[in-house]
Amino acid sequence: MPEQDNTSPLHHFAVVSKPNEDVNGKDPNQIKKERKVKTVVHHTDPDDNKYVYYFEDSSTEYYAARPDEVDAALPKIADKAEMISRRIALEFFGVLRLIVGFFIIFVVELYRFVMRHILHPILVGILVVTGDYLIKPVLSAIFNGILQPVSIFLYNLFVALRTGLNPLIDIINGFARQVAVILGAFRLVVVNNTHNHYERHVQDV
């Protein structure tokens, strides 16, 4: 096998096969599974291995890139540090949530206690006592001392007026009927209703 130029871009990645391997006699998919891609290094004996360069299957939907095969320790440490940092942040905010939640619940329960056991009895008690000992007696005194006597006086006054005016109203009613009969005898305007005559004439024809 001729000596390969390691400076060529084709030697950046190489497929290493076993010696005396019949590449053409195998299934291409099986060959791809057995291939091991690695960076080309200097070989002291080129006849031990042979390099086979193949065309990779491409896709119209995506681009495939080879990952970095250098097994560095810092990326793993960075991943662990990120996970630990995230865990520490979650625990910190969990503790903060407990503190804030306790404070919020304390404020809400304090407000409930003040409204239910302090303001509610005071306000309701003040209103009940005010109604029982101030508003109800005042309204009762106003009704019994002012409204009821005035209402009874007005009722009796109107009943007396109706009783006294009923005979006078009957006299005026009888006189008005007589005048209406006399005025009804004078016809200032005579209206001849000929609608029925025309209608009967049309029906006869």
Tell whether the model's pLDDT for residue 71 goes beyond 50: yes
Render pLDDT for 131-187 as a digit per residue (tens, 0 to 9).
Answer: 999 999 999 999 999 999 999 999 999 999 999 899 899 899 988 988 888 877 776
Query: What backbone phi and psi angles, to 5 degrees, belong to 16?
Result: -100, 125
Reported pTM: 0.39
Tell whether the model's pLDDT for residue 68 goes beyond 70: no
Compute the CA torsion angle 70, 74, 80, 86 (nearest 10 deg).
-120
Render pLDDT for 24-62 as a digit per residue (tens, 0 to 9).
Answer: 555 555 544 444 444 444 444 456 566 566 566 677 777
Mean pLDDT over all residues of the chain?
A: 75
